[in-house]
């Protein structure tokens, strides 16, 4: 118990220490949290009417961002898996960072879902026993289960690894018997949360754009691109500003995964667009609206082509060795573009245009309101704040800067 | 909020014994105030409070269908008390069970419908929807061009690919290929603002909840807040809905409406004869939709939209009774279901008289 307390104390005191840039970053996040608390208050007292959602386009920016957080959370296993499946030692060391990313992004996603709900105060209705969960019918019930289990698995994994390393007893032979199965389960669970999230969308026959068998594949490939893109950015920052050493081979593996994922994503998009556009039935209406607009409603058109262009050009860029090895200039830029392109893809291609035409033939545009925008930033800022603090503390433990007094005294 | 309110809350009969300790810690004092809001002044103050629609006891109530009879009575009494105070008139919340041996069905003659939208407004009035900003309407009337299947001669040679050595014209894209054919929602106008109806170049098709036998919304609801009763009507427990809108996503008829903000229902326009699953005033953040006027039809009356229809285009009745209006329509008219391809088996039939 005492050790746990000192763990918490040492961990957090290291996490909040940093240079001027670090504080500037935290302050930057704090600003959006401050503004966001106010806008969140407005939303929770006045209802979702303050967002741009309507009965025609009923999913808002929160839902779109939730899908994206699921991308990144699922993809974080790509940091964990090589270490445990292929015994890559360098990645096994870093596995805990992947788990932290997964944990924080799942939590961020759940927060987005709470913003999405009309009655977040009634969340307890879905807890079996206390309320009633429509299992096994409702896809959202499955999603609730897999997301929360994934959060729990990663929470257990992260705290166990970090604590063991903190007290200095993280050796193969001294690990608890349950630890390895938990890690492997978490690795399998990553894609699972993503497939289920895809099914939440694909289960709606009415939304032609989603009722497609390639949706889970599209999600997984986009996860494989956006997640490692964030991981590369984090690793590059980490090795630049902290004492943790991350070798080039680790970065290269991540870059390879991004390139492959983007390549497969091209195929998935091509398959989807072809299947819709060649017969050009009513199922293609949403896509046509997205690509070319409809009777003057064309706000999504530039977003569509811009996103596709960004994804294709990042894919081509990553085919060049020079770009892949330009660790300080081009690679972070490409990763940034991939991350943002896929983030933008969610509302502007996947979610909003899919609602037009509505079942009664209406076309509608979605305009994100300022309050909604700041609420999205609020959740992101919260997510990145926790990500920064936990990663910082974890790095301290990985480098040995944060150690239990007894073990540090002996070393 | 004063301390007295919380003290009184402890003694309020509404709050169940076992939950009391929990409540003491959990409840916010503003929400607690409503339990004791009996004088009109307090009620008005409470009504203007965004959280006022949920009393603490109401907040902790379970799914209505899973309640014991005693709990149901308490829940109903609670609601009646709250609504009566909030709208300053005696409000009843009925809990009439659906009749046995009945399967409610609806038939609508699109040949007769003149698009006057009296049904829409009668529905809003009967079912206590939000009145303005926004007005929530459960029935949407589509105004569809009659010439849907007509091909125009000037378009015959238009389109892409252009005429080739085979002599075919624009068969793939453009020209007459761009005209929708058949019963399509593509050219429907949902917000027409005509002085006079019917417009002779159009026909009208009102759409409301189709009360599917295989409702995708019920399947999608993660908490079973929406369900199908044994008379075949899909209903919502407004106090159980969590507002996730999965049902709205699943519905292929665009029949469900969400309370994006606080419903605006002026007290003088409120219909005080309500049903728990039907027209009782809703709260912010929950789904609502047509219930075939459950407060009327469970007592053997007709839905409000049917009564309002000036041309008799609407028929309602028991699908299990061979002599009912609906069954007679099914037997003698040309009947179709809307969007049959979704396999939802609506109990709402369209026919051409």
Give me the mean pLDDT over the A358-370 stretch.
93
Mark yes or no for CB contact B251/A206 under 8 Å. yes
Full residue range of the structural domain in which residue B221 is found: 104-139+208-352
Candidate from B257, B261, B342 with C-beta closest to A49: B261
| pLDDT given for residue B5 in this prediction | 44
Residue B256, domain member (yes or no) = yes
**Cα–Cα distance, B153 to A235 (Å, whole number):** 65
Q: Indicate if B83 and B112 belong to the same structural domain.
A: no
Q: pLDDT by residue (tens digit) across B48-101?
A: 443 444 578 888 999 999 999 999 999 999 999 899 989 999 999 999 999 999
Q: State the CB neighbour count (10 A cutoff) for residue A248.
A: 12
Q: Report how far residue B312's alpha carbon sits from residue A156's, in angstroms, rounded to the nearest whole number.
A: 65
CA-based nearest residue to B286, from B212, B353, B225: B225
Q: Which residues of chain A from 26 to 65 reach within 8 Å of chain B, CB to CB?
A: 45-51, 53-55, 58-59
Compare A134 and A405 and report the one with higher pLDDT.
Answer: A134
Compute the distance between CA of residue A128 and CA of residue A134 in angstroms, rounded to an integer: 9
* Percentage of the residues of chain A whose pLDDT score is greater than 90: 85
As a whole number, mean pLDDT of residues B194-206 equals: 90
pLDDT of B155 > 80? The answer is no
Q: Which residue of B has its CA nearest to A51?
A: B260
pLDDT band at residue A172, thresholds of 50, 70 and 90? confident
Distance CA B26, CA B292 (A): 38
> Could you write out the DSSP letters of every residue in A278-297?
TTT-GGGHHHHHHHH-BTTB
Q: Which of residues 353 through 392 in chain A touch B, CB cutoff 8 A?
A: 357-362
pLDDT value for A301: 97
Q: Report the pLDDT averaged over residues A35-59.
A: 95
Same domain (yes/no): B44, B132:
no
Q: Which of B132, B133, B223 is most worth mutating to test chain A (most A CB atoms within 10 A of its CB)? A: B223
Contact predicate A389/A15, CB 8 Å: yes
The pLDDT of residue B50: 37
The CA distance from B91 to B271, in Å, is: 8
Residue B116 lies in a domain: yes
Number of compact structural domains in chain A: 1
The residue among B148 and B245 whose pLDDT is bigger is B245
- Give ipTM to 2 decimals: 0.91
pLDDT, residue B149, reads 54
Residues B40 and B134 in one domain: no
Residues of chain B with Cβ-Cβ distance to A119 below 8 Å are 241-243, 285-286
ω into residue A136 within 30 of 0, thus cis? yes
B121 in the same domain as B21: no
B-proximal residues of A, 192-211, CB under 8 Å: 200, 203-207
A255 compared with B9, residue with greater pLDDT: A255
Same domain, B80 and B109: no
State chain A's mean pLDDT as an integer: 93
**Global pTM value:** 0.89
Instruction: With beta carbons under 8 A apart, name residues in chain A contacting B217.
Output: none
B264 at interface of A, judged by CB pairs closer than 8 A? no
- CA distance to partner chain B, nearest, from residue A2 (Å): 30
Q: Is the pLDDT of residue A149 over 90?
A: yes
Residue B21 lies in a domain: yes
Torsion of CA A33, A36, A37, A39, to 10 degrees: 170
Mean pLDDT, rounded, for A118-135: 94
Query: Does B333 map to a domain?
Result: yes
Q: What is the pLDDT of residue B169?
A: 61
| Domain housing A400 | 2-410
Same domain, B222 and B295: yes
**Which residues in B lie closer than 8 A to residue A132 (C-beta atoms)?**
63, 66, 223-224
Chain B CB within 8 Å of residue A325 CB: no
Structural Rg of chain B based on CA atoms? 24
Fill in the DSSP letter of residue B190: S
Task: Tell me how crowded residue B122 is: count the other CB atoms within 10 A of its CB.
Answer: 19
Task: Please give the Cα distance from A227 to A101 (Å, whole number).
Answer: 9
**Model confidence band, residue B353 (pLDDT cutoffs 50, 70, 90):** confident
Both B111 and B242 in one domain: the answer is: yes
Is B332 buried (19+), middle (13-18) or exposed (0-12) by CB count in 10 A? exposed
For B104, the enclosing helix (H) or strand (E) is strand B104-109
CATH number of the structural domain spanning residue A173: 1.20.1630.10
CB-based contact B219 A137, cutoff 8 Å: yes
- Determine the pLDDT at residue B23: 40
For residues B62 and B131, state if they share a domain: no
Q: What is the largest CA-CA distance in chain B?
A: 92
Confidence of residue B144 (pLDDT cuts 50, 70, 90): confident
Judged by CB atoms closer than 8 Å, whether chains meet at A118 and B221 is answered as no
Q: Is residue B197 part of a domain?
A: no
> B124 and B35 share a domain?
no
Give the pLDDT score at A65. 97
Q: Tell me the C-alpha distance between B346 and A379, whole Å.
A: 41
Domain shared by B124 and B245, yes or no: yes
Residue B232 near residue B186 (C-beta atoms within 8 A): no
Neighbours of B316 (CB within 10 A): 22
Q: Find residue A120's DSSP bridge partners.
A: none
Q: What CATH number is associated with residue B342?
A: 3.30.70.20
Residue B309 lies inside a defined structural domain of this protein = yes
pLDDT per position as a tens digit, A325-356: 999 999 999 999 999 999 999 999 999 999 98
What pLDDT is attached to residue B56? 85
Q: Do A361 and B220 touch (CB under 8 A)?
A: no
Question: Is the Cβ of B221 closer than 8 Å to some Cβ of chain A?
Answer: yes
Does A201 score more than 60 pLDDT?
yes
Q: What is the mean pLDDT of chain B?
A: 83
Task: Identify the CA nearest to A380 among candidates A175, A163, A159, A107.
Answer: A107
| Same domain? B279 vs B340 | yes
Partner A, chain B 291-310, Cβ-Cβ below 8 Å: none
Count of the separate structural domains present in chain B: 2
């Amino acid at each position: 118990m005492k050790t746990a307390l000192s763990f918490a104390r040492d961990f957090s005191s290291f996490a909040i220490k940093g240079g001027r840039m670090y504080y500037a970053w935290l302050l930057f996040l704090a600003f959006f949290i401050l503004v966001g608390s106010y806008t969140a208050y407005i939303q929770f007292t006045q209802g979702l009417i303050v967002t741009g959602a309507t009965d025609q386009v009923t999913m808002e920016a929160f839902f779109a961002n939730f899908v994206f957080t699921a991308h990144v959370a699922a993809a974080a296993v790509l940091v964990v898996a090589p270490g445990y499946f292929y015994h890559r030692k360098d990645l096994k060391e870093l596995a805990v960072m992947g788990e932290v990313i997964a944990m924080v992004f799942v939590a961020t996603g759940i927060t987005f879902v709470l913003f999405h709900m009309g009655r977040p105060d009634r969340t307890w209705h879905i807890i079996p026993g206390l309320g009633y969960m429509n299992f096994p019918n409702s896809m959202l019930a499955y999603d609730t289960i897999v997301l929360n289990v994934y959060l729990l698995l990663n929470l257990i994994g992260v705290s166990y690894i970090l604590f063991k390393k903190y007290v200095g007893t993280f050796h193969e032979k001294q690990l608890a018997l349950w630890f390895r199965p938990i890690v492997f389960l978490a690795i399998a669970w990553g894609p699972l949360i993503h497939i289920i999230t895809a099914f939440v969308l694909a289960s709606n026959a009415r939304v032609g754009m989603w009722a497609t068998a390639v949706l889970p594949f599209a999600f997984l490939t986009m996860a494989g691109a956006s997640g490692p893109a964030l991981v590369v950015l984090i690793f590059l920052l980490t090795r630049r500003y902290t004492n943790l050493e991350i070798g080039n081979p680790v970065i290269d593996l991540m870059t390879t995964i991004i390139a492959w994922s983007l390549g497969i994503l091209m195929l998935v998009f091509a398959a989807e667009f072809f299947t819709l556009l060649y017969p050009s039935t009513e199922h293609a209406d949403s896509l046509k609206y997205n690509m070319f607009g409809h009777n003057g409603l064309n706000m999504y058109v530039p977003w569509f082509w811009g996103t596709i262009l960004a994804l294709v050009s990042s894919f081509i860029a990553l085919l060049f060795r020079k770009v892949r090895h330009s660790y300080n200039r081009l690679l972070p830029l490409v990763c940034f573009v991939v991350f943002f392109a896929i983030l933008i893809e969610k509302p502007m291609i996947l979610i909003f245009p899919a609602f037009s035409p509505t079942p009664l033939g209406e076309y509608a545009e979605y305009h994100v309101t300022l309050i909604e925008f700041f609420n999205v930033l609020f959740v992101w800022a919260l997510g990145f704040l926790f990500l920064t603090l936990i990663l910082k503390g974890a790095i301290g433990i990985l480098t040995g800067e944060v150690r239990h007094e007894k073990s540090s005294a002996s070393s | 909020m004063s301390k007295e309110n919380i003290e009184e809350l402890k003694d309020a009969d509404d709050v169940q014994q076992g939950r009391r300790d929990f409540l003491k810690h959990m409840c916010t004092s503003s929400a607690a105030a409503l339990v004791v809001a009996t004088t009109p002044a307090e009620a008005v103050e409470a009504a203007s409070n965004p959280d006022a629609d949920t009393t603490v006891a109401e907040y902790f109530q379970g799914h209505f269908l899973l309640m014991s009879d005693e709990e149901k009575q308490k829940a109903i009494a609670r609601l009646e008390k709250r609504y009566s105070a909030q709208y300053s008139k005696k409000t009843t919340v009925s809990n009439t069970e659906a009749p046995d041996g009945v399967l409610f069905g609806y038939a609508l003659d699109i040949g007769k419908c003149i698009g006057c939208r009296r049904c829409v407004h009668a529905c809003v009035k009967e079912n206590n929807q939000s009145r303005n900003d926004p007005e929530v309407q459960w029935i949407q009337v589509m105004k569809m061009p009659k010439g849907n299947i007509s091909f125009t001669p000037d378009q015959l040679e238009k389109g892409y690919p252009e005429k080739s050595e085979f002599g075919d014209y624009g068969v793939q894209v453009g020209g007459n290929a761009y005209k929708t054919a058949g019963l399509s929602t593509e050219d429907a106008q949902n917000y027409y603002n005509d002085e006079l109806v019917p417009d002779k170049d159009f026909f009208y098709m009102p759409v409301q909840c189709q009360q599917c036998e295989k409702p995708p919304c019920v399947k999608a609801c993660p908490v079973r807040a929406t369900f199908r009763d044994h008379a075949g009507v899909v209903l919502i427990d407004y106090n159980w809905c969590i507002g996730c809108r999965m049902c709205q996503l699943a519905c292929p008829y665009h029949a469900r409406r969400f309370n994006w903000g606080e419903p605006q229902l002026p007290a003088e326009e409120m219909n005080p004869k309500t049903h728990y699953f039907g027209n009782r005033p809703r709260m912010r953040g929950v789904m609502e939709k047509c219930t075939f006027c459950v407060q009327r039809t469970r007592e053997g009356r007709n839905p409000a939209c049917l009564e309002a229809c000036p041309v008799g285009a609407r028929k309602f009745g028991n699908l299990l009774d061979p002599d009912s209006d609906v069954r007679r329509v099914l037997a003698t008219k040309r009947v179709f279901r809307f969007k049959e391809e979704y396999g939802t088996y609506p109990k709402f039939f369209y026919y051409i008289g």
